[in-house]
Chain A
Amino acid sequence: MMNRKLIGGIGATVASLAVSTAAWAQAAGPIKASDAAFAAAQAGMVNKGDTTWMLICSALVLMMSIPGLALFYGGLVRAKNMLSVCMQVFMIVSVAGLMWACIGYSMAFTSGGSPLPAVFGGLSKAFLMGVDGTTLGATFSNNVYLPELSFVVFQMTFAMITPALIVGAFAERVKFSALMVFVVLWSIVVYYPMAHMVWYWAGPDYLVDAPTDYGLLWGWGALDFAGGTVVHINAGIAGLVGCLVIGKRTGYPKEPMPPHSLVMTMIGASLLWVGWFGFNAGSNLEANGVTAVAFINTMLATCAAAVSWSLVEHFHHGKASMLGAATGAVAGLVAITPAAGYGAPMTSIVLGFVVSPVCYLFVAKVKNALGYDDSLDVFGVHCIGGIIGAIATGIVAAPSLGGQGVFDYTQFPAAFDASTYSISTQVITQIKAVLFTLVYSGVLSAVLYFIIDKTMGLRPSVEDENVGLDISSHGERAYNM
């Protein structure tokens, strides 16, 4: 089976801190969770380097949202809506963090007590019940554990940024209160189940004794290292549906709506790039060689995508723009996300070169041809880039192309056999996962938008929209000069 993010769902709690690391060290090999010596040895399986790395990565991913994403999006809107975008991102981060601790973590990363354990988890860890400084979460390696709270907060930052990505699709024309209600419902109905289906499994020491304890897509064998399906396709399709339900900005596309500060967009894109190392390399859950693989792949794919977007613009318009380079970098980051820990540096460069022209086609041509107003191209960059990355993951993961392949966690200890990897089988699995995500998130997001639109209304009045959401929704303006 495949490796991915995980937590030891069943037995991650350490019974006692009275640990016998010596007994563990003397053991001939890794200890199965069902072995008598396991509970006593488990607390000694936590590494200070891993723990440090994961806490730093959590802070890096938070920086992606605030100020990274807020500035990236904020620079792209007109000055009268700058603060509305910043505030939407800031408040989504805050609300999503609270929700993650209350029910999100339990719904995503447990399976016990759920009526549909393949789709969403139970409430056994609601309000972080039973989770404290002594409980542990699994990694991808046998007998390597993290303090569970470090995994909780790392995953929390993903639950924060994913709904924040959506707001770009209907920026400049959404009612703040309705958006916040949407984010609460969307997290419960869409994000937690998606995270559960793709990333939940029992863990490398437990799966062998609980061979069906995993989420639906994980069970299919879908590979998503850091969130191509869960984060980018998921948010991207929710954004597209949202901009269709809410409708175009008043005046679009006749009135010019140029970005008000591409300097801020550049700063935001750069903060996203830096923070993304926490997102992608952190998703390995340990600080080891594969972490370095994910790190350099993230770097190179992004460089390649920034270059290829600039080249496309150069040949199409004769001028390479800063906005284009920043957009290309984000497209590269999105595309490498599911593949980060699976690919190799050179295949990551190819992936980066490929993703930008396709995303460019969507934001510059398809959007105008179809006439939808995805204000900041959440669909064109995140969903399309995510789809390319998710499918390409099946190719670049192949050991024959220098990829990391996949581990078989149904054996103990986990086994690796490069010869069993089939690119065609894996690509088909990846396509299935992409289609599932598009349908699951697209349909349920549409239902939520519809309900909120019919009850409280998603759009501010045309007058409020014309004045600008900074003044009409928040009573302040970004720039007083």
Chain B
Amino acid sequence: MKFIIAIIKPFKLDEVREALGAIGVAGMTVSEVKGFGRQKGQTEIYRGAEYSTNMLPKVKIEVAAPDDLAPKIVETIQQVASTEAIGDGKIFVLDLASAVRIRTGEAGDTAL
């Protein structure tokens, strides 16, 4: 099993969710996060007081998937979330040791 974490631009969330649904992803967890990478921050001006914010708002998607589906998920997110501009985000893939469905106690791939 793999655990996939993708940091994407917030406005790409709906497209990514639909595309993942279409390839058979049954669930995901989404959070609003802030962070920085190579993309420069933005400047905000309030009554002439300038603040440069280096933490930009992003959306974090977490998906647990069986090994065979994981490459397809990564590929889909990469393609759908891309605007080919700096700041599109990153995808991280981790090995997942176990998964348990709380309602039934099922474990492993069947819990996903």
Contacts and interface: CB of A to CB of B under 8 A. Distances in A.
Interface of A: 253, 256, 258-259, 317, 319, 321, 323-324, 327, 360, 363-365, 368, 377
Interface stretch (B18-26, B48-56, B64-72, B95-103): B48-56
Contacts of B51: 256, 258
B53 A321 contact: no
B44 interface: yes
Contacts of B44: 258
A377 B49 CA distance: 12
A360 B48 contact: yes
B47 A323 contact: yes
Contacts of A253: 49
Nearest to A316: B48
Contacts of B46: 258-259, 321, 323
Contacts of A317: 45
Nearest to B52: A256
B48 A321 contact: no
A455 B4 CA distance: 61
A61 to B, nearest CB: 26
Query: Size class of B's contact patch?
Result: under 10
Contacts of B53: 256
Contacts of A377: 47
B45 A368 contact: no
B89 to A, nearest CB: 24
A321 to B, nearest CB: 7
Given A258-B44, A360-B48, A363-B47, 12 more contacts: A253-B49, A256-B51, A258-B51, A317-B45, A319-B45, A360-B47, A363-B48, A364-B47, A364-B49, A365-B48, A368-B49, A377-B47
Contacts of A368: 48-49
Q: Give the 5 A-B residue pairs with the shortest CB-CB distance, closest first.
A: A364-B48, A256-B51, A363-B47, A317-B45, A258-B51
A295 B63 CA distance: 60
A324 B49 contact: no
B45 A321 contact: yes
A360 B47 CA distance: 7
A30 B53 CA distance: 68
A160 to B, nearest CB: 26
Nearest to B53: A256
B49 A327 contact: no
A327 B47 contact: yes
A258 B49 CA distance: 9
B40 to A, nearest CB: 16
**Best-surrounded residue of A319, A364, A377 (most CB of chain B within 10 A):** A364
Nearest to B44: A258
A323 B47 CA distance: 7
A360 B49 CA distance: 11
Interface in B12-50: 44-49
Nearest to A377: B47
Contacts of B45: 317, 319, 321
Contacts of A323: 46-47
Nearest to B50: A317
Nearest to A321: B45
Contacts of B49: 253, 364, 368
Contacts of B47: 323-324, 327, 360, 363-364, 377
11 contacts: A256-B53, A319-B45, A323-B47, A324-B47, A327-B47, A363-B47, A364-B49, A365-B48, A368-B48, A368-B49, A377-B47
B78 to A, nearest CB: 32
A377 to B, nearest CB: 6
A319 B43 CA distance: 12
Contacts of A319: 45
Nearest to B45: A317
Contacts of A360: 47-48
A85 B57 CA distance: 28
Nearest to B51: A256
A457 B23 CA distance: 65
A253 B49 CA distance: 9
A356 to B, nearest CB: 12
Contacts of A365: 48
Nearest to B43: A317
B109 to A, nearest CB: 35
B77 to A, nearest CB: 28
Nearest to A363: B47
Contacts of A363: 47-48
A254 to B, nearest CB: 11
